[in-house]
Every structure is written in C-alpha cells, then in structure tokens.
Amino acid sequence: MNIKNIKSEFPIFEQKVNGKPLVYLDSANSSQKPRAVINRISNFYETEFSNVGRSVHSLAVKATNRFEESRDKVKNYLNAKHREEIIFTKGATESINLVASSFGEKFIKEGDEILTTELEHHSNYVPWHFLRQKKGAKIKFAPVNDKGEVGIDEIKNLINSKTKIIAITHISNVTGAIVPIKKIVDLANEKNIPVLVDGTQGAPHLEIDMQELGCDFYAISCHKMYGPNGLGILYAKKKWLDELPPYQGGGGMISEVLKENVTFADTPTKFEAGTMQTAEVVAFSEAIKFIEELGIKNIHNHENEIMEYGIEQLKKNNSVKIIGDPKERGSVICFTMKGIHPHDIATILDEDGVAIRAGHHCCQILHDKLGIPATARASLGVYNSRDDMDKLSDAINNCKKIFKI
C-alpha cells in the first residue's frame, strides 16, 4: 500500500458522480472508508457477531474478545497509559457531552469558569452551555486573531482562579489553525486545570500521543479517521474516570442493582451503558491499521503538500478569498467568492463531481466574528491529489462562468 495509489483502497471512488470522477473534498465532515474497514464490518457480522460482555456462549466470547482487542489497539495508537482510559462513544460530540455532564456535575459550581475559544465547533460549546444553564457557570472565549488562530497568550490572559477546565480544539475545522495544545497543557498543568481537547480534526491528520500531549481528555470521531460512522472515543486519564459519576444509566454499566441502591461497574464499563456499537468498534481496528501502515506522518505530509498546492492555485483566482492564514494549517481550506454565495458554489461544484461543504460548518460564533454568514470548505484526506486541486480550481472558474462574473 502506498499513498500515491491509495484511492484504489477506497471503493467509493469506483463510481462517477454526475458523470464525473469523484473529487471528494469533504473529509473534515466525514472521511471515506477503505475496503478493509468495510469488509471487516460484513465479515464480523457474518462470522463473529454477538452482543459483547454479557453472554457466555462461544460467539459472545469471540465478539467480546474482538471488541476488547480494539480497545487495546486504540490504547496503543494513542499511547494511553491504561486500556481503561479508552471509552467508546457514538462520536466526539458524545465524548464531550460525557465530560461536560459528568465532570460538570462533580466539579463545577456557580460562578466557576469554563475556558474555551472562538474557534470551537458547536459540539465543544453547546455541552458547556448546558452546564452554564444548569450550574450558573461562566464560559470564557479566547479570541481568534486575524490569521484565524488562537495563541497561548490569549489563553493565558483568561485563566484565573475560577477556571475549572479548558476545552479547546486541536485543529479548527474552518481556519485550519493547529492549536498549540502541548503549550496550553503545560500552562494549565502549572495551575492544576484539566484540559479537554476536541480532537475531531486533529486525530485524522496529526500524530497524537497522550503521554506527550499530556491532556486530561481527548475526544475523537472515528468516522473522520477512515473508521465506521456512529463511533467515537473518549480518552480520559484514569484518575478522572475513577472519580467521575456515570454519564448514562442502563445495562452493562452496573455492578449491583437493588431496589434501594445501585452501584456501578469500574471504568471503562461504567461509561458504556447499553448495547455498544459492536461491528463498528471491531472494524475501527482496521482503520487504525490502515493509518499505521501508511504512517500518520506520511499522511500529514502528503495532505500538507496537496493543501499548499491547492491554496497556491486558489490564490491565482482573484475572485477567491481564503479564510484564515494560520502559521500551521491542517488540511482545511475555507474560502468565499465575490458575488457567489457558498451554497451556490457547492451546488455548481457538485455538477463537476467536486464534493465540498458550504455553510457555517457548525461554527457560528467564529463566522459571526469573521463577519461572514457562510464559507465554502474544501477539506482533505489521504486520497486527495494535485489533480483534485486542479479540478477544484476549474470548477471554481465554472462558478464564475455561470454567475457571469
């Protein structure tokens, strides 16, 4: 397997879209799936499926083993200290909701502050808003600068004795800015403030080593890293998981259930109530294998090169304005065009087989700050090439033709 002809590992590219070869530039939204992941799902259902962690029959043992092997795979990939630090969720959104709810319930009181940024996706703001409403906590937003970045100083200025947690994205899904997480964690450590990282955009593109980053919580959406939909991960330091109350109640997460009282299972089971996504968890191992085989650094370098080339092409077009100019940018190019709304751009590009996203990308606060209601976004995955960037550029010219600009 090598990156140059990696498209052949993704069956979706065998079809044409509107009669044109598919140019998929919506990976920040969700990535496409390699054959190995797709095959593993059907193969698991055909030969090993059963519910996990409950029954004692042979299939249940097989399925449970595969499920827990995936936990080990994730633990090793993230370089977590303990396997119990890996919790499966339905997505990064649920991972963050879990922390906001359980951590908030135990540790946040009226007047306490949650420090976040103007870059955040709604999934790293709305769960904290719930907490604000429930507990009377405050949310502070570190401002984004004119390059679309949030720097360490902006964070430093807002930390005070009331700051109880810092919740921050790893990579902005709009400006593409890579946030200096390590520095922020070091700063927070000095003040004993835990840090939650929304790794939704970080995990698919960057090397993520929990020992090196040192954050307390890291939220992942598996479907953006070539894995199955409906699956996410919450990495959390064991000391937190042991202390936090459960997020949801139900089967599996209990120790003893009596009419008078209920006691809970140990971590991670305490946080995995009800029947879990089974095939998805098992198949996610294949997504990690896929990334490991190519090497995350190689993936990052490849995407970077394509992105730089793409930006260069778009900059030649004087109707296009690229949003943000961060020093370190991760696989996202947001842009606007003079006289054409992003929604219209997306429709016109689609006719040329070029799939992008238009809108506020679940970042209304950031768009309000930038003073634009919507942007068009081309986001990259390992399967993109220079040719895709050329096709993007041509399709953008077609927009100008149709709008007579």
* Residue 49 or 403 with smaller CB distance to another protein: 403
- What is the distance between the alpha carbons of residues 55 and 38, in angstroms, rounded to a whole number? 26
Q: Which of 127, 187, 108 is nearest to 151 (CA)?
A: 187
Whether the bond into 268 is cis, omega within 30 of 0: yes
Amino acid making up residue 184: I
Least distance between another protein and beta carbon 382 (Å): 27
User: Residue 331 carries which DSSP code?
Assistant: S
* Residue 237 or 367 with smaller CB distance to another protein: 367
Q: Applying CB under 8 A, which residues contact another protein? A: 339-344, 347-348, 351, 358-360, 364, 367, 373-374, 402-404
Query: Is residue 362 annotated as a catalytic residue, yes or no?
Result: yes
* Residue 296 or 399 with smaller CB distance to another protein: 399
Residues near 249 by beta carbon (within 8 Å), at least 6 away in sequence: 262, 273
CA angle 369, 25, 145 (to 5 degrees): 20
* Residue 135 or 321 with smaller CB distance to another protein: 321
* Residue 80 or 358 with smaller CB distance to another protein: 358
Neighbours of 204 (CB within 10 A): 32
Gap between the terminal Cα atoms of the chain? 44
- What is the distance between the alpha carbons of residues 210 and 329, in angstroms, rounded to a whole number? 21
Tokens of 359: 């809108």
Amino acid making up residue 349: L
Least distance between another protein and beta carbon 322 (Å): 19
Least distance between another protein and beta carbon 361 (Å): 10
Least distance between another protein and beta carbon 404 (Å): 7
Least distance between another protein and beta carbon 185 (Å): 33
Which listed residue (215, 222, 334, 362) is catalytic?
362
Q: Which residues participate in catalysis according to the annotation?
A: 362
